[in-house]
């Protein structure tokens, strides 16, 4: 293997810190071909579909990629913004606001970037950008508060797959979960309270998380437990009784059993039982995307009303909401920890260090 060298590296350089936020991904445009490319990359990941590769290759390439792209294209068209995919547009807004936040902007040695696990901007592009900037301390923060092998672990796979090709390996910190982080929980609580201030609180609060095949739970994936804890912590801060909220799971795919209860079935039952007003919040989605804007705010709304419900309020994801930016800011500071202190102290000694290296090189001692 030919290792990637650091052409810009200079002995005695200040140690720079890179923070990479990674979201799931999105097609480049709402077209059949773009959606097919995206789905091909996404569904080819063994972390996503854990069945024998040969069998899955046949199913994926002969059936799914021939049928699903057109259907998904139509769904994306319903939520597509003038300047692109909502997930990418909102993710960029979050990063831009974090960079300008008071505790981050002053750290000139701190570089923050965004990548998508699937599609663009790619993880490889972001890491290469960091390498060219002589980043030698790297923190990876997935934009999934609740860890799952199908999401967070897949980011770890891709990051390490690229970095193992580098000649100069940076210090690395990888945040696997922040489902119970107090700043994140507080941001969720404030998001819900803001909705209730603007519109009357409904009879039931539905926490809808993205689903996973139930077998993943039995294999040891902690995602289900993390979702339950997130919802419980939010509910406690809101002062809710157990009967005032419910945890559900959405976006199931295929015929196998997924984590229950299913969001669509719960909403139908609530409407049929006379619970005629619901608030729906999706804590697992840091940014609004296809699954929240179309599946929840369009499909679920329509189904709930058609079953007898009267008032359906979708509470937006945290997005670039100020409280979320504050939460992300604190999460960054927590991750870089003593790295930050080292950088502050190193400024005083940087010039001395450079002079020492220059002298040693001049005397041919190194």
pLDDT score at 8: 66
Beta-bridge mates of residue 22: 115, 142
Integer Cα distance of 239 and 237 in angstroms:
5
Domain boundaries of the chain, sorted by first residue: 14-25+85-177+323-366, 31-79, 182-315
Task: Flag whether pLDDT at 355 surpasses 80.
Answer: no
pLDDT score at 353: 45
How many CB atoms sit inside 10 A of residue 318's CB?
27
Integer Cα distance of 206 and 299 in angstroms:
15
Task: Flag whether pLDDT at 25 surpasses 70.
Answer: yes
User: Contact 335/178 with Cβ under 8 angstroms?
Assistant: no
DSSP class of residue 14 equals P
Query: Which CATH number describes the domain made up of 14-25+85-177+323-366?
Result: 3.40.50.1400
Integer Cα distance of 156 and 161 in angstroms:
8
> What does each C-alpha distance from 93 to 107, 275, 322, 340 come to in angstroms?
19, 36, 11, 24
Report pLDDT digits (tens) over 282-338: 999 999 999 999 999 999 999 999 999 999 999 999 999 999 999 999 999 999 998
User: Contact 207/283 with Cβ under 8 angstroms?
Assistant: yes
> What does each C-alpha distance from 130 to 119, 135, 164, 347, 353 come to in angstroms?
19, 5, 15, 20, 23
Report pLDDT digits (tens) over 256-276: 999 999 999 999 999 999 999
How many CB atoms sit inside 10 A of residue 192's CB?
22
For residue 107, give both structure tokens: 């750290």
Is 182-315 in CATH node 3.40.50.1400?
yes
Whole-model pTM: value is 0.91
Share of the chain above pLDDT 70, in %: 91
Share in percent of the chain as helix, strand, coil (round to 5): 50, 15, 30
Which residues of 78-122 form beta strands (DSSP E)? Answer: 110-119
Chain centroid to CA 113: how far? Answer: 13
Task: Flag whether pLDDT at 6 surpasses 90.
Answer: no
DSSP class of residue 206 equals E
pLDDT score at 10: 66
pLDDT score at 4: 82
Q: What kind and span of H or E run contains 205?
A: strand 204-210
Share of the chain above pLDDT 90, in %: 85
DSSP class of residue 298 equals I
Report pLDDT digits (tens) over 147-190: 999 999 999 999 999 999 999 999 999 999 999 999 999 999 99
DSSP class of residue 242 equals G
For residue 154, give both structure tokens: 């897949």
């Amino acid at each position: 293997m030919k290792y990637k060298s650091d052409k810009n590296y200079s002995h005695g350089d200040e140690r720079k810190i890179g923070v990479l936020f990674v979201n799931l991904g999105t097609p480049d445009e709402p077209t059949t071909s773009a959606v097919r490319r995206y789905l091909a990359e996404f569904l080819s990941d063994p972390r996503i579909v854990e069945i024998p590769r040969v069998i899955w290759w046949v199913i994926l390439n002969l059936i799914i990629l021939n049928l699903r792209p057109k259907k998904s294209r139509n769904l994306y068209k319903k939520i597509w913004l003038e300047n692109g995919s909502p997930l990418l547009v909102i993710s960029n807004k979050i990063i831009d606001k974090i960079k300008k936040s008071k505790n981050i902007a002053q750290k000139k040695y701190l570089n923050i970037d965004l990548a998508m696990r699937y599609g663009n901007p790619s993880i490889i592009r972001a890491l290469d950008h960091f390498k060219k900037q002589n980043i030698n301390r790297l923190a990876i923060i997935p934009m999934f508060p609740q860890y799952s092998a199908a999401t967070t672990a897949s980011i770890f796979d891709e990051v390490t797959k690229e970095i193992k090709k580098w000649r100069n390996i940076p210090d690395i910190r990888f945040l696997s979960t922040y489902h119970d982080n107090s700043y994140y929980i507080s941001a969720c609580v404030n998001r819900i309270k803001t909705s209730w201030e603007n519109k009357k609180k409904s009879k039931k609060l539905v926490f809808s998380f993205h689903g996973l095949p139930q077998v993943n739970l039995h294999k040891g994936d902690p995602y289900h437990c993390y979702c339950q804890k997130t919802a419980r912590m939010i509910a406690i801060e809101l002062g809710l009784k157990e009967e005032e909220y419910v945890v559900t799971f959405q976006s199931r795919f295929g015929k196998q059993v997924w984590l229950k209860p299913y969001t669509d079935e719960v909403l139908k039952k609530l409407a049929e039982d006379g619970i005629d007003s619901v608030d729906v919040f999706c804590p697992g989605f840091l940014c609004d995307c296809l699954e929240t804007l179309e599946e929840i705010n369009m499909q679920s709304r329509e189904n709930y009303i058609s079953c007898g419900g009267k008032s359906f309020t979708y509470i937006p994801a945290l997005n670039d909401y100020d409280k979320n930016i504050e939460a992300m800011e604190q999460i960054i500071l927590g991750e870089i920890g003593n790295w930050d202190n080292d950088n502050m102290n190193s400024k005083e000694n940087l010039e001395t260090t450079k002079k020492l290296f220059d002298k040693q090189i001049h005397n041919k001692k190194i």
